[in-house]
Structure 1
């Protein structure tokens, strides 16, 4: 006879501790999945479409709560085991289907909502079986740590690794919290979950070393990124991802490709599948005449420049060619980490002699008394701040207050570019 997890009407001395643990881990997984899903959707869709993950999450968790209410007539142990399995395999299914979500986002809601429904059911069941105050505390603690862990882990394992590691943790739910006296059916669930979890961990570690799965190429292979306004990668020939970096500010890929099979090799920097820069292995002297900013013949010698959004090469060389001090801010640490590090040889070390601060332009200017001959937002326009861009500038660099701040930091010959 299989053992059952008693309901609230049948008190179990172990139910409270078990429900607290379930609530903590389920909340951790659900909120971590929400953050990663939002990052994924930003890569293959527009900002407003990606933001739908918030409503999907709320709707799914609410639906899970209602299922827990109507499921009280069934043995809680079985409901918990099935919900744990649904949570684990729901996260894994989204990882596998991610490259195809952009084109069929409206239908993907059904797939995206599964982990939230399962997690909501587990959390609601924990409130029924355990001490409400303790479950509530651990639920919120798990949720906050889930969000924080996603932010911490992204720079190290990228979206691909974070997806599979979170799936592995979710798949371990039936193993960690299942009753060892369960019948054969749920024993089989534990076995399959354990095997799948181990496979996810191995895949994540191997992919980190060999890089055989990269969302830039795999999403391109599904021909979805051509839907992005600033993306020509889907039309490129022989695209290869050279370097990748990630943070909550955005996903950055350095990709080489050709316009045609016989075309010259070009290297582009992509942020969330939007092209932002072309890397050129050319020295500063080539950039004497650049239509993006006035030359020394107009500005005079030794022009001090402040760049909002240093990005990948951008106007760095042109600013350095003017001979003065070059300061810059970059809100995405992944961009600076790639272009000043492994990709530096592809752009002739464009970040040399540039004083870079990770952050936003307005905060930087509010904390300094330095004045500049030129303040440029050139690199902040292409991926954001335009009708076709992916989102508004997070630091609000085009507002009246921002423009007044720039004027306060301009020299007598200064311009805003």
Structure 2
């Protein structure tokens, strides 16, 4: 198409108003069901397996949608079928498939560790189980994708309205995800979403007067499948501490993670976070008898370092109140205790209040449910002690990342957070952090990275001269090697401590089983290992140590807060045979790379191979298909890159990833829907429209990148509702601009295919939809890889560059059908980029 060509306008659909309403309603329901099901499954899989498997959910969801589009593009029968009639049959089938698939996912029990750390004979069966589960998940979204692809292809001339209602439904699914998870739980969300698909099919059948018997029969099957699904408890991974047959005293699903309380001893209740040991609730009556355990526990170290009990202290990660009990035992007067998970807070305040002596209501105790960083930003207090209570534990990291496009990012350990916490210390104050390192002697990754980050953030505040960091920093360690009990305690002092205080700490450490001093100001410690060298070495030495270390322990900041990303993607293969006693190292990274590989192979199977087999000679050749392929690939990758980085970044402002996913994705989808709906109102000339849109997109997004940090620093102190409004206001313009690209591409695909035979009607549109879907699969993983490797800002810029590529491709024109004389039979495949658009399906 050249610039003089009119805007891609088409005659309105001649379908009856009732059919149009039915199609728009179907698009809305499918959008809602697709997103709410995807978000619910990220929680279920995080509980069932581990947080990094949520990438499989995201990738498999997009994979199923893309595969469905490919099938529609290859099947003339599907494309020619009456849309309402077909959706009336497909929707209830999709609902039943979804219910049965959930039953399969819940019932299967895996031991995923064996996949990575066992011989082939042992790993093979576990891999097959994972494959079965993956297929079950893919089928859920494949069935949904068939309905959506049929709607888009059949009503390509109405793509703006259909896309608007599909994205609006998806946006509503995101918006309601957090409250629904807290209200009915993710499993019931999945069941309800699939029943909604069945109800859609029944409604369409009644409305049209067709397929009533089929719809009624599928409704009955769906009810039976629902009873099956809800009767099957979710079987967690064999390595998890929570077993399906274990008695649960209390617990619930939460927006952050699931909590299950189990009795360990008469004086101890264990809180399992997403099926893993997470924290404890101890019996407490306010007497020394119920806190005698602290006499040989590292929790006494911070109090030994102070010359007198803290007047004000802050606990971040209060969980079951163990640290509150320690603080009261050692005389702390005013205790602010912050816990992120509302389920944990509720258990401590209600079900186990009597068990803990109503610890949250004790004088001087302010137990708050919320995010630690937000709480500190809103506080005008200065503290003698700010205590980060091992929120990096395996269960906590599992919980902190569930349900989002993230791999263990944490804004509690960044340079910015350390600087903020340090500014809230009194002259005698200190920051205390504790970490669990399985192999402290050989690979103290968590402790080393925290020290490197603290040194980078606080060296200037501590004086900035050689030795100042060492004079303000202490490190002790306890526990046996290769045990989660191998706990390090890091002390960051506002001012160098007095020698007598360090003598008290040394004495206390001697009372702790397997405890030892690595470094204390003015005290001889071991002085060995990378942790001691990071504390006491000069800047050049520390830079070299960090660079030469086999894992990535460089300092992290808010632009790339991936604290647990220790394995660079370039080194993943080299660590295949490593010791897997530390289960987090390299597994999440490997899964991301595997997902990229799987998506690439699947794209070849569902796109290149079928179209290649179906291609045959035709008198009508279509120029510009390669351009269309690159266009839809570019916007598929570009949208996901921008989306992933935005969601991850707003986790800081909104408090936790699931809320960020819900609010950010809701805003982007709703704004994209508006942009798509009204994209044809912004100029008739395609080149002018896309150029203006791309320039505006760059301007708005770069402005956001420039102002996001100062705005976030100010807005962290705002109420949550105000922060949600701010995110909406910042993201909405970006989403509107992003939404203009896909309908413009669909218009071009429609025009390109105008001369096709009737059997090929809609095929090119479906193919473009499939290309976009498959590259979205790639984007969900590669976008996260880019964020982890280069930071959020660069990932967004890469996404913007892809939109520049897309705008240039479509603005160059082309796409009109060529005549026989114009077509060059010798370059049919090369110019098409794929295959002839006019070639009918192979069957």
Q: Answer yes or no: same fold by TM over 0.5.
A: yes
Asked if residue 194 in structure 1 is aligned to residue 219 in structure 2, the reply is yes
Q: Give the aligned partner of residue 115 of structure 1.
A: 140
Asked if residue 306 in structure 1 is aligned to residue 319 in structure 2, the reply is no
Q: Give the aligned partner of residue 166 of structure 1.
A: 193
- CA–CA separation in structure 2 for the residues paired with 1:201 and 1:63: 26
Unaligned runs of at least 5 residues, structure 2: 1-11, 111-128, 433-843
Cα offset for 1:117? 1.5
Secondary structure (helix, strand or coil) at the match of 1:344 reads coil
2:327 pairs with 319, 323, 335, which one?
319
Larger radius of gyration: 2
- CA–CA separation in structure 2 for the residues paired with 1:385 and 1:254: 15
- CA–CA separation in structure 2 for the residues paired with 1:154 and 1:34: 12
Cα offset for 1:114? 1.7
Shift in alpha-carbon separation, 1:171–1:325, aligned structure 2, 3 A: same
Q: Give the aligned partner of residue 248 of structure 2.
A: 241
Secondary structure (helix, strand or coil) at the match of 1:23 reads helix
Q: Give the aligned partner of residue 348 of structure 1.
A: 357
Asked if residue 42 in structure 1 is aligned to residue 46 in structure 2, the reply is yes
- CA–CA separation in structure 2 for the residues paired with 1:203 and 1:60: 24
- CA–CA separation in structure 2 for the residues paired with 1:390 and 1:297: 34
Secondary structure (helix, strand or coil) at the match of 1:284 reads coil
Shift in alpha-carbon separation, 1:297–1:109, aligned structure 2, 3 A: closer
Asked if residue 134 in structure 1 is aligned to residue 161 in structure 2, the reply is yes
Asked if residue 328 in structure 1 is aligned to residue 343 in structure 2, the reply is no
Q: Give the aligned partner of residue 37 of structure 2.
A: 33
Higher mean displacement: 301-310 or 140-149: 301-310
Cα offset for 1:256? 2.8
Q: Give the aligned partner of residue 66 of structure 1.
A: 70
Cα offset for 1:43? 0.4
- CA–CA separation in structure 2 for the residues paired with 1:9 and 1:298: 76
1:55 pairs with 46, 50, 59, which one?
59
Alignment of 1:242-391 (within 5 A): 242-256=249-263, 266-285=268-287, 286-287=290-291, 289=295, 290-294=297-301, 299=306, 300-321=308-329, 322-353=331-362, 354-383=365-394
Conserved? CA contact 1:167–1:200, under 8 Å: no
Structure 2-normalised TM-score?
Answer: 0.42
Cα offset for 1:174? 1.4
1:22 pairs with 26, 29, 36, which one?
26
Q: Give the aligned partner of residue 474 of structure 2.
A: none
Q: Give the aligned partner of residue 5 of structure 1.
A: none
Shift in alpha-carbon separation, 1:163–1:127, aligned structure 2, 3 A: closer
Question: Highest relative contact order (Cα 8 Å, sep 6+), 1 or 2?
Answer: 2
Secondary structure (helix, strand or coil) at the match of 1:347 reads coil
Q: Greater share of strand residues, 1 or 2? A: 1
After superposition, the C-alpha distances for 1:302-344 in whole angstroms (9 at most, x for unaligned) are: 5422111111223121123323111122222222122212232
After superposition, the C-alpha distances for 1:354-411 in whole angstroms (9 at most, x for unaligned) are: 3233332222222222111111111413236779x98866542222222222221122
Cα offset for 1:102? 5.5
Q: Greater share of helix residues, 1 or 2? A: 2
Secondary structure (helix, strand or coil) at the match of 2:326 reads helix
Instruction: Tell me the matched-pair count.
Output: 385
Conserved? CA contact 2:401–2:409, under 8 Å: no
Conserved? CA contact 2:339–2:368, under 8 Å: yes
| CA RMSD between the two structures | 3.2
Q: Give the aligned partner of residue 412 of structure 1.
A: 427
Unaligned runs of at least 5 residues, structure 1: 1-7, 208-212, 259-263
- CA–CA separation in structure 2 for the residues paired with 1:72 and 1:50: 33
1:156 pairs with 170, 178, 183, which one?
183
